[in-house]
Structure 1
Amino acid sequence: MQVGVHLGYQNLRGESDMEFFRRETQLMVEAEAMGFDFAACVEHHFTDYAACPDPVQALSYVAAKTKTIKLMPAAIILPWNDPLRVVEKMAMLDSLSEGRAVLGMGRGAARREFKSFGRDLADSREIFDEAALIIMDGLETGIVKADTKWFQIPETEIRPRPEGWSRDRAVMVSMSPSSAEVAADYGLKALRFSQGDWSKALPEINNYRDTFKAKHGKAAPPFVISDFMVCFDDKDKVTEYTDKYFSAQFLQVANHYEFMSDHFKSLPSYATYAYMGQAAEARGGAHNAYKDYIGGNLIGTPEELYEKHLQRKAMVGDYEIIANFSFGGMPYEDVYEQMKLFADKVMPRLKEEEPAMA
């Protein structure tokens, strides 16, 4: 199993943005020394929810400070970015990191971000589907060209020329039935965020695997799960930190994506976000819904985390993890403590596991 760290850049600690951004980015550098396989960071804009407007630029800094860890924007939000520039940036990151870059792509879900970029949330499915093909073809061939509804790009050679790219090095955020189908159709590894009961995601996961095999004649790769993680030896501390910091994180998620709004109901391609809003409403509001949300994430002592992982693996099959330890305003000394404990006591057991039977 591949295990990584996922940085969300949530500034709730009262630090200046400049100081916070440096300290958050440093976690990806420290992850290599702890033995993590890859580092990932989000793209989000304009608020404390997640203040990382250019994950590729952040990862270029990490590339200069590390030697082996893989580097993945998780994810570049394609409706907000020119596909030609995405190909150029990923080629540069791959060159600087000596082949350690992994392409992560998503389509976004927050109206406030789409509005500032002059895009409509309702168009995200079409824009993503077109841009993803342009970007992947550009990385594989070194040539970018397009004549589609959303993009007109004359045939353009990329410099520095990308090398060694295939769809095995690309990951797509897949949080809806339509996204899972696109990921399978395009031959991409799927990334899912833990957002509740994993049994409810099984139809999408199984359809992804079935479609992938039918389209490409081989089994789908293990998908990636992004977990918000709480990991301490002390059970009381796990409970305390979950109640204090995970609830703060969930409120940020709910507010940023407007879970309590009904606008997702008119957007079938955002079915998962509509479900989250319905779950929150059923429990009396976003503040009281966080227990449903934490149920899908890995939270507990090291032994409890491993047992929860085994239960999840028995349900969903093989998967990889990118763990977010820094959220909700948690002090950085506690973030480091969690990362180190997980790396020492949980990660070795994950990495030595045999793959599950298909």
Structure 2
Amino acid sequence: MEFGINFFPTVGPGDKDAADYFEEALRLVERAEEYGFDHVKTVEHYFFRYGGYCPDPVTFLAAAAARTERIQLVTGAVIPAFTHPVKLAGKLAMLDNISRGRLRVGFGRAFLPGEFDAFGIDLDESRARFDEGVLACRRLWSEEDVVFDGAFHSFGPVTLLPRPYQRPHPPILVATAKTAASCEQAGRDGHGLMMVPSINKRETVQEMLGLYRKAWAEAGHPGEGEVHMSYGCYLAEDAAEARTKGREYARRANTVMRDAVAAWAERRSTGYAGYEKVVENIARHDFDRSLAENKTLVGTPDEIAERLRTIREWFGEISVSLQVISGNPPYEESERTIRLFAEGVLPHFRAAG
């Protein structure tokens, strides 16, 4: 298994100044490299306290690249629907060169109605815009004199500069929430997968992974593919303290998410079947149940190591992204979480693998 830090801010100006947030996050990036983590990842969101302090993951990861030498940089994820593919492909190629090939590009569809409204984009177009954007970026990275005639963007002939550092292009990962067909397509295309297991039953996640790995093998790709899963994470030496504070930060993050998705109570989209239930599902969030089902990593290092052994039995050799800042804990507690994880959890899995 591999492990990294996922920066998903759940703050706004009333909680923390943006400049302070970025400085603290970049200090955590430095600590993550020192402690031996494999990657850092961040989101793309707008306007809401739910991720809104990171409207451009490329900018954040470029700063992270300047402060590190080894750790991988992962967009988790960039949204093709909100950026012209020539612009997006160029920004990512720059980052790949700045980091000398440490970039892994995660693409996502987005799901917040308020973000689509602000960009003037129909929610029902999100799947088609996603597919077109990923295809356009792949072609711009790997071909010259590209002529592209899509449903939303047409251009060419274009030869992108700079060319990506990694050839033919950086590894691609695809974010999926509940759609099995997306997992199969990612496997066929040779892309990695990014998942949030907390929003599905364990059996559903296993079925989605089975479809992904079967499609990957049938397409003739080597290995079993690359799977990233994000987990809320809070560690302390004392188990009671970890649960008390972990519960509070989970509650805060849940409140912020509830505000961001509130529009789904009245919105409907053919591209997001069942999302009208998301508000109700968030309201029913149960921290103790999530903990019991290994959907969150809260506890002492020994407890977390045992949870991860179970997760590995369920899902295989995956890459785990730890959300150590969600709920806006103090910097010192987030730094303690990654230090304790590095000292008390990582050695178990490094020795095994």
Normalized against structure 2, the TM-score is what?
0.90
Match of 1:164 in 2: 166
Match of 1:9 in 2: 9
* Match status 1:229 vs 2:233: yes
2:302 maps to a residue whose letter is: E
Output aligned runs, 1:204-215, within 5 Å: 204-215=208-219
Question: Aligned partners of 1:289, 1:277: CA distance in 2, in Å?
Answer: 14
Give per-residue Cα distances to partners, 1:7-43, cap 9 Å, x unaligned: 1122267222222222223322221111111111111
Output aligned runs, 1:192-203, within 5 Å: 192-196=195-199, 197-203=201-207
| Among 115, 123, 129, the residue aligned to 1:127 | 129
Match of 1:20 in 2: 21
Output aligned runs, 1:116-155, within 5 Å: 116-141=118-143, 144-155=146-157
Match of 2:77 in 1: 75
Question: Aligned partners of 1:183, 1:92: CA distance in 2, in Å?
Answer: 25
Give per-residue Cα distances to partners, 1:246-305, cap 9 Å, x unaligned: 1111222233233862646x535555x56655544xxxx34x545555541222211111
Secondary structure of the 2:219 match is helix
The verdict on how the C-alpha distance between 1:32 and 1:262 changes in structure 2, with shifts beyond 3 A counting, is same
1:223 Cα offset (Å): 0.8
Asked if structure 2 preserves the Cα contact closer than 8 Å seen for 1:142 and 1:162, the reply is no
Asked if structure 2 preserves the Cα contact closer than 8 Å seen for 1:137 and 1:143, the reply is no
Question: Aligned partners of 2:10, 2:280: CA distance in 1, in Å?
Answer: 25
* Match status 1:330 vs 2:334: no
Match of 2:270 in 1: 267
1:181 Cα offset (Å): 2.7
Gaps in structure 2 of 5+ consecutive residues: none
Asked if structure 1 preserves the Cα contact closer than 8 Å seen for 2:113 and 2:263, the reply is no
* Identity of matched residues, %: 24
Aligned length: 347
Give per-residue Cα distances to partners, 1:45-79, cap 9 Å, x unaligned: 11221110111111111111111111111110111
1:102 Cα offset (Å): 1.3
The verdict on how the C-alpha distance between 1:125 and 1:8 changes in structure 2, with shifts beyond 3 A counting, is same
The verdict on how the C-alpha distance between 1:268 and 1:205 changes in structure 2, with shifts beyond 3 A counting, is farther
Question: Aligned partners of 2:193, 2:168: CA distance in 1, in Å?
Answer: 15
Secondary structure of the 1:134 match is helix
Gaps in structure 1 of 5+ consecutive residues: none
The verdict on how the C-alpha distance between 1:83 and 1:144 changes in structure 2, with shifts beyond 3 A counting, is farther
| Among 105, 113, 130, the residue aligned to 2:115 | 113
* Match status 1:255 vs 2:254: no
Greater CA deviation, 16-25 or 290-299?
A: 290-299
1:195 Cα offset (Å): 1.8
Question: Aligned partners of 1:345, 1:73: CA distance in 2, in Å?
Answer: 27
The CA RMSD measured in Å over matched residues stands at 2.3
Question: Aligned partners of 2:350, 2:82: CA distance in 1, in Å?
Answer: 36
1:203 maps to a residue whose letter is: E
| Among 180, 186, 203, the residue aligned to 1:177 | 180
The verdict on how the C-alpha distance between 1:317 and 1:263 changes in structure 2, with shifts beyond 3 A counting, is farther
The verdict on how the C-alpha distance between 1:99 and 1:219 changes in structure 2, with shifts beyond 3 A counting, is closer
Give per-residue Cα distances to partners, 1:83-123, cap 9 Å, x unaligned: 11111111111111111111111110101111111112221
Normalized against structure 1, the TM-score is what?
0.89
1:222 Cα offset (Å): 3.5
1:240 Cα offset (Å): 0.8
